[in-house]
Structure 1
Amino acid sequence: MTLTIVALLPSLQNTNGDAENAAVLARRAGWAGLDARVVAVESRDELPAHVDAIVIGSGTDASLEVARTRLLELHDELRRWGTEGVPILAVGTGWELLSWGIELPDGTGIEGLGILPGRAVPSVGGRITGDLVVAERGSRELLVGFENHARAYVGAEGSPLGRVRTGEGNAKGSGQEGVVMGEVIGTHLHGPVLAKNPVLADRMLTTMAARAGLEYEPGERTRTVDAYADSARRAHLAAAGVDATAAPAAQTVDG
């Protein structure tokens, strides 16, 4: 069986290389001895018959309306995938488009697909940029990346990806980053995030394999590459002034 990983709208939603997270999943699956392929989907007509995971990257505000129109064609499928437990990674504006909606500075708005709780609103104090370190909720993992967004994310405080150790995350002073609902993840972590945080990639791959009746076990090549990723992560944490050996603070359901 071949695992099919869909990169949604890569021509529009790949400003920071986020769509390449699909390639990360496929490569790690291959190193584990599993067949996997990446399918770029720009419209509903290009959708494969079976989907094992979805990646939606971040785009520019200029492409928001076009991206939303194309995603609306896939609304029923996206909702079904989310309900069925298909892993979905949405980054930046890709995440915002799956939310309740996006509020723009001129007072107008763009209705989201309503797959994830919360909405994007103009950030008080301007654009948020810089290194981002997150203590993942429910684990001892520190996730690293960079953030670059003009909007804050509100209304999903009960289900964050994790607590901010360095950076701003969902909003200045919120202390939270991202949103998680089942196997659907929304995040500001650019990067691509799965290359920098292989534990997140392996979690998605484990779910993908299990749903397909397969078993995912990282291969030898994976461990070699992850050693490089770990070195880069430690350099990132050191530059951010975060102690990689310190256990993240306990996290509650309300963050």
Structure 2
Amino acid sequence: MSYRLRLAHLYPDQMNIYGDRGNILTLTQRCAWRGIELELVPVGVGAAIDWPSIDMAFFGGGQDSGQALIADDFVRHQGPQLREAIEDNLVLLSICGGYQLLGHYFLTHTGERLPGVGAIDVHTVGGSVRLIGNIVVEAGDWPGAAGTLAPGTRLVGFENHSGRTYLGAGVRPMGRVLAGHGNNGEDGTEGAVYRNTFGCYMHGSLLPKNPQFADYLIGLALQRRYGAGATLAPLDDGLELVAQRTMVDRLVHG
């Protein structure tokens, strides 16, 4: 059976720092290697998107200036339909600024309250010190998918954020921080999971460094579109996994 998926890239011109576009390249290439047709749908300011036709979405991080340019459009223009799509199990990966905008609000260090779309139960508070460096996260128990990513899988990335994100009861963390700061540098959590939506601070870019996670997202999207029988053909990720283990050993075990 031939598969076809649609991937929405939210605000690619404004929200693309620390290699975040590499996540799009990774999803595209890993689909191509398997013969899965992946259509990329850029979502710019004012764009009209048929969200029910979208299988996966990516929302990267941006400089404060870039985030300011798109925040109002995202909240007012895309927010209502995107919330519906998330409730309908859209597969979505959001990083840093994109992660923050999916939550309820961002309270800046000057006391200004900036609204998010409220799609996931998190809020962010600005800090005076940036949390910067490589990060290792032990993944939690996530919803099932073809080629399920096993709980305890160690993911690597790079974080650079001043916002401290706190989770509400409506989400669970992506995982436990083994090295680095994570959501807020206080509670040992990184990221948030709600239905098929994942938010985190892991730049770097995330998916090339963690092919298991890339395939997990593709598998979720295939099962949502084509049913539980949709599976992914295996790929040879030997080199990628050696690089991943090397970073884990260096950061966790010293």
State the TM-score, normalized to the length of structure 1.
0.87
- Tell me the CA shift for residue 162 of structure 1: 0.5
Q: 1:28-59 deviations in whole A, cap 9, x for unaligned?
A: 11212211122211134353572110000001
In structure 2, relative to structure 1, the CA distance for the partners of 1:37 and 1:216 (3 Å cut) is: farther
Contact 1:120 1:152 in 2 (8 A): yes
Which residue of 145, 160, 169 maps to 1:148? 160
Contact 2:139 2:155 in 1 (8 A): yes
Higher mean C-alpha displacement, 229-238 vs 180-189: 229-238
Q: Which residue of 1 aligns with 2:148?
A: none
Once residues 252 and 101 of structure 2 are traced to their aligned partners in structure 1, the CA distance between those partners, rounded to angstroms, is 33
Which residue of 62, 65, 70 maps to 2:68? 65
- Matched residue of 1:70: which SS? helix
Which residue of 242, 246, 250 maps to 1:231? 242
Please report the RMSD computed on the Cα atoms of aligned residues, expressed in angstroms. Answer: 1.8
Unaligned residue ranges in structure 1 (runs of 5+): 244-255
Q: Which residue of 2 aligns with 1:248?
A: none
- Matched residue of 2:98: which SS? helix
Q: Which residue of 2 aligns with 1:251?
A: none
- Amino acid of the residue matched to residue 104 of structure 1? T
Q: 1:57-87 deviations in whole A, cap 9, x for unaligned?
A: 0011122332212212111221111111110
Q: Which residue of 2 aligns with 1:191?
A: 204
- Matched residue of 1:241: which SS? helix
Contact 2:107 2:125 in 1 (8 A): yes
- Tell me the CA shift for residue 99 of structure 1: 0.6
Which residue of 23, 29, 34 maps to 1:32? 34
Contact 1:9 1:67 in 2 (8 A): yes
Q: Which residue of 1 aligns with 2:94?
A: 90
Once residues 55 and 76 of structure 1 are traced to their aligned partners in structure 2, the CA distance between those partners, rounded to angstroms, is 17
Paired residues in the alignment total 238
1:132-147 pair list within 5 angstroms: 132-138=135-141, 139-147=151-159
Once residues 228 and 39 of structure 1 are traced to their aligned partners in structure 2, the CA distance between those partners, rounded to angstroms, is 30
Identity over aligned pairs, percent: 26
